[in-house]
Amino acid sequence: MTPGAREPILEVRDLVKHFPLTQGIVFRRQVGAVRAVDGISFALYPGETLGIVGESGCGKSTVAKLLMNLERPTAGSVFYKGEDISALSGRALKAVRRNIQMVFQDPYTSLNPRMTVGDIIGEPFDIHPDVAPKGDRRRRVRELLDVVGLNPEYINRYPHQFSGGQRQRIGIARGLALNPEIIVADEPVSALDVSVQAQVINLMEKLQDEFGLAYMVIAHDLSIVRHISDRVGVMYLGKIVEIGSDTAIYDHPTHPYTQALLSAVPVPDPQAREGRERIILTGDVPSPANPPSGCRFRTRCWKAQERCERQEPPLALPPVLADRTGEVLHDSACHFAEEKPRVAHG
C-alpha cells in the first residue's frame, strides 16, 4: 500500500471548480465565482482508503462530485487508470462510471421511498445490463443484501421499514452492485447513531478486504477518518493544505490548520482534559467567493507573517522533515511548517 509502488487507480491533477455568481434576471452577468475547489491534486491507489477532512464549505463534497463526474471541472483533470475522464461523455463515460460508485451521506433522502429495496439495489443493472443478465438480477440483489448483512428476505420491503443504519447498508449494497473498483463515500456515517456507526464502519472495512475496493472517504469527523484511512488529506477553502499517511497527519502534523483541527477534537477521556493543549482558532472560515491572498489560512493563523499574505505556499515536503525518513515524510502547504508533536494527545 505504499504510494509510488503501484500505479494509481485514480489521479487528480490541478482540479478546479468555480461556481459562477451572477446578477440580474434577464441579462445575467457574472460578478464573481465561488472557488469551491481551487487546484488540488492527489492520487488514489488500488485497495487503499484516502480520507479527506475539512470543515463545512471547504469543498470536500465538490471534490466527490467532480470525481463522479456529476460536476464538470472548470480546469484540471481526473485520470482513471491513466485516462482523462473529466472530458468524457456518452458511452465512454458510462463505462467508466461503472467502476466508480458513490455512497451518500443521508440514508433518509438518498433512497427513493416509492421503490422497493430490490428495485433500488437492482437499478444499476438497468443502466448496465451487461453486469447481470435479466433473469439473474433478483438472485444478485439477494446476494448483495446478504453481503451487507441484511436479511435477503427483505427484498420486497420499502426504505421506510428500515432504520438509519440498515438504510445505509442498502446504500452500500447499491454502490457495490456493479462490482466497482472505487467507492466514493461522502460522510457515510455522520447521520447515524454512535452505536450504529461502528457497525457500518466495520462493514465498510470488511467489504474493502473482500473485494479489494479503493475508498475515498469524505468526512468531518477526524476520529473516524483516522480509523479507516491509510492516507489523509486535509482541505481548507478549496485547497489541500496537508496530505500524508495517517500517522504523518495525526502524529506529525506540520500545518498549523491541521494542528488546530486535531487539537479541537474532543478526546473521550476525562483524564486528558486538564493536560491537553488546545488551539482555539478565532473567527470563521472566510468566504470562498473572496478568499484571502497568499496562504488562505493566514487570517486565522497564529504564525501568519507578511510573507504569507504575499506568497502562496506550495504543497510540498517542508524543509523541517527533510532529514526524516519513513511514514513521517509528507507534504504540507505552509511557509513555516514545523512539527508540534503529540498535539492530539495532550
Partner 1 sequence: MTDDRLLEVRDLEVEFTTRDGVVRALNGVSYGVDAGETLAVLGESGSGKSVTAQAIMGILDMPPGRITGGEIIFQGRDLLRLSGEERRRIRGPKMAMIFQDALSSLNPVLSVGYQLGEMFRVHRGASRKEATARAVELMERVRIPAAKDRVNDYPHEFSGGMRQRIMIAMALALEPDLIIADEPTTALDVTVQAQVMDLLADLQREYRMGLILITHDLGVVADTADRIAVMYAGRIVENAPVKELYAAPAHPYTKGLLDSIPRLDQKGGQLYAIRGLPPNLLHVPGGCPFHPRCPRVRDRCRTDLPPLYAVSEQAADGAADATGERAEAVSADPAQDEIARVPELGARSSACHYWKETVDDARRT
Q: Which residues bind partner 1 (CB under 8 A)?
A: 55-56, 163, 165-166, 193-199, 201-202, 205, 220, 222-224, 226-228, 246, 250, 260-273, 278, 280-285, 344-345
In angstroms, what is the minimal distance from the CB of 208 to partner 1? 12
Query: Shortest distance, CB of residue 293 to partner 1, whole angstroms?
Result: 21
Q: What is the nearest approach in angstroms of partner 1 to the Cβ of residue 339?
A: 16
Name the residue type at position 293: S
- Provide the minimum distance between the beta carbon of 182 and partner 1 in the complex, in angstroms, as a whole number: 23
Runs of H (alpha helix) within 229-303: 246-251, 256-264
Question: Minimum CB separation from partner 1 for residue 21, in Å?
Answer: 17
Q: Which is nearer to partner 1, 191 or 216 (CB)?
A: 191
Identity of the residue, 56 or 325, whose beta carbon is nearer to partner 1 in the bound complex: 56
Min dist. Cβ of residue 235 to partner 1 (A) = 12
Specify which residues 35 forms β-bridges with.
Answer: 18
Q: Identify residue 255 by its one-letter amino acid code.
A: H
133 or 266: CB nearest partner 1: 266
Q: What is the largest CA-CA distance in the chain?
A: 68
* CA nearest neighbour of 68 among 12, 109, 22: 12
Angle at the Cα of 62 (from 57 to 67), degrees rounded to 5?
155
Looking at the Cβ atoms of 63 and 224, the one nearer to partner 1 is 224
Please compute, for residue 342, the number of CA atoms within 13 A of its CA located in the half-sphere on the CB side.
Answer: 6
Which is nearer to partner 1, 270 or 319 (by Cβ)? 270
Q: How far is the CB of 127 from partner 1 (least distance, A)?
A: 32
How many whole angstroms separate alpha carbon 258 and alpha carbon 314?
Answer: 16
- Cβ closer to partner 1: 227 or 303? 227
For 113-162, the DSSP string reads: TTS-HHHHHHHHHHH-TTTS-GGGHHHHHHHHHHHTT--GGGGG--GGGS
Nearer to partner 1, 24 or 283 (CB): 283
Q: Residue 132 or residue 213: which is nearer to partner 1 going by CB?
A: 213
Least distance CB 139 / partner 1 (angstroms): 27
Alpha carbon separation from 216 to 30, 187, 188, 297, 307 (Å, rounded):
33, 10, 11, 25, 34
Residue number, 221 or 338, with CB nearest to partner 1: 221
Query: In whole angstroms, how close is the CB of 37 to partner 1 at the nearest point?
Result: 18
